[in-house]
Amino acid sequence: AEAEAEAEADLEGGATPSAPSRSPTRFNQRRLYTDDERRQAAIDVSRRHLEEHQDWLFGPLALSAQELRARIALHHHVYVDVEDLGLPTGQRRSDDTFTEQGVSHQLLLDAGRSDFILPGGLELSFRQEVEATGTSLEQHSLEVEHMLRAFEDRLVTALLRCLGSGAPFVLVQAISRAMSQSGMANLERACQGPQIVVSGGEQSLRYELVQVSTRAWEVRTTLRKYRFEQFVVVDEAGLDEPAKVEVMESHLDSQILRSCAVLFEVLPDSDSAAEGRQGDSGVGLAVDVRGLVDRVELLDRSGRPIRLEVSELAGEDHSERGAWKAALGRRAVAFAQCFAAREPFRVYAGDMVSKAAARCRFCRRRARGAVDSAVQLPRRMVSGIEEGDACMRAPLRG
């Protein structure tokens, strides 16, 4: 009810997040899609990005509909994050915070459960360091905590050294956030299909930073979940409808592999000020999606592929849905029409907005509650992400 009231206020215009229980960042997230001017600006950015990647649409390297949708969505999410860095506090759409040096606090919280590869072949993995010493969290909790703090300091020092002493503050912010669960969340939101929560098994999460030029850096993210024997499929039906949850058994050879490569380029003042500069976020930093992989290989106990049904919002009746989702559903057509110059754009862009509506924070929160009531999952987190406004701490910090 609260979400619907906020959405109705947004649509009527002029509303401000004055209630104590209302999150300003949540309010600003909605306005990005319900405010005509903000929405049009986002459309223009996506159009310019697509114009720079004609090979995605035509020729031997043309992407499938699903691949194209995912890349459009990923670029949009990353671009919004970077643009957010230059907004006044009251207009920001993210609650992410940073150190005085510009390093994302979320990166520090995630450091203990991720592997990092930095330029020069430097590899940092707290998991491997703990295993090498033979230390266990259960028996040496204080020692492991001290090791983690030292690891975080070394990671920050190494990252800043790689970027250089003259690196713009916004570059440090963007890259450090991309190398954390905040960046991983963008990738998972961009991928189509129902939410999958695996039970047990193994997980590896790796971030690689590559210097492409003196002004450009690429963050390569890879998430792999494997050797799990059970998973939960959450079909997020809608804001006002309970999520559909199904518990399924799987073969040990099942895996979920997701990766992406995102380029951050520092723009000279002349380029940054130039109108229409591809990827310019308004803070002197350009964003480009260089690649994306979404591979879900689910096998039943007999080793046969499991095919999951994907709910499509396009064409459904939104009359009984919440005001927020209904508003986005109506505006998806207008969004798609802005890409009328090329037929594929209308289909992919409109569908992308519908998918974004389906993956709202309230749907995911309700979905997690449905999972908890359907199956008892282990306390060790293996599903990959938490929401940006409820970021997950590293397991070592309880």
Tell me what pLDDT residue 230 has: 94
* pLDDT for position 309: 67
DSSP 297-308: E-B-TTSPBP--
- State the DSSP string of 117-171: EETTTEEEEHHHHHHHHT--TTT-HHHHHHHHHHHHHHHHHHHHHHH-TT--HHH
Query: Do residues 381 and 392 make contact, with C-beta atoms less than 8 angstroms apart?
Result: yes
Contacts of 5 (CB under 8 A, 6+ apart): none
Which pLDDT value is given to residue 244?
Answer: 78
Q: Output the pLDDT for position 331.
A: 44
3-state percent breakdown (helix, strand, coil) of the chain, nearest 5: 45, 20, 35
Alpha-carbon span 349 to 340, nearest angstrom: 10
Q: What is the reported pLDDT for 281?
A: 54
Separation of alpha carbons 286 and 48, rounded Å: 12
Q: Cβ–Cβ contacts within 10 Å for residue 300, how many?
A: 13
Nearest CA to 173 among 88, 275, 266, 269? 266
CA-closest candidate to residue 114, choices 394, 392, 386:
394
Residues sharing a CB contact under 8 Å with residue 40, sequence separation 6 or more, in sequence order: 338
Query: Residue 5's pLDDT is what?
Result: 45
Q: How far is the C-alpha of 336 from the C-alpha of 343, rounded, in Å?
A: 10
How do beta strands 202-211 and 115-118 pair?
Answer: parallel
Whether residue 216 contacts residue 264, with contact meaning beta carbons closer than 8 Å, is answered with: yes
Cβ atoms within 10 A of the Cβ of 232, count?
22
pLDDT of residue 135: 82
The CA distances from residue 354 to 116, 173, 334, in Å, are 34, 29, 12
Distance CA 65, CA 343 (A): 12
Report the C-alpha gap between 79 and 280 in whole angstroms. Answer: 9
- What is the residue-level pLDDT of the chain in tens, covering all 398 positions? 344 444 444 444 444 554 444 678 888 888 888 999 988 999 899 999 999 999 999 999 899 998 999 999 999 999 999 999 999 988 899 999 999 999 999 999 999 999 999 999 999 999 999 989 888 777 778 899 999 999 999 999 999 999 998 999 999 999 999 999 999 999 999 997 788 899 899 999 999 999 999 999 999 999 999 999 999 998 765 545 666 788 999 999 999 999 999 999 999 864 444 433 444 555 789 999 999 999 999 999 999 999 886 554 433 433 333 444 444 444 443 443 344 344 444 444 444 544 444 444 444 454 455 545 544 443 333 333 344 333 433 344 33
Beta strands at 202-211 and 216-226: parallel, antiparallel or unpaired: antiparallel
Q: Containing H/E element for 219?
A: strand 216-226
Cα angle: 6, vertex 188, 241; to 5 degrees = 45
Residue 310: per-residue pLDDT: 57
What's residue 395's pLDDT?
A: 40
Residue 384 in tokens: 């990959």
* Residue matched to tokens 């099942």: 254
Distance in angstroms (rounded) separating the CA atoms of residues 165 and 101: 11
Identify the pLDDT of residue 237. Answer: 57
Q: What confidence score (pLDDT) does residue 282 get?
A: 57
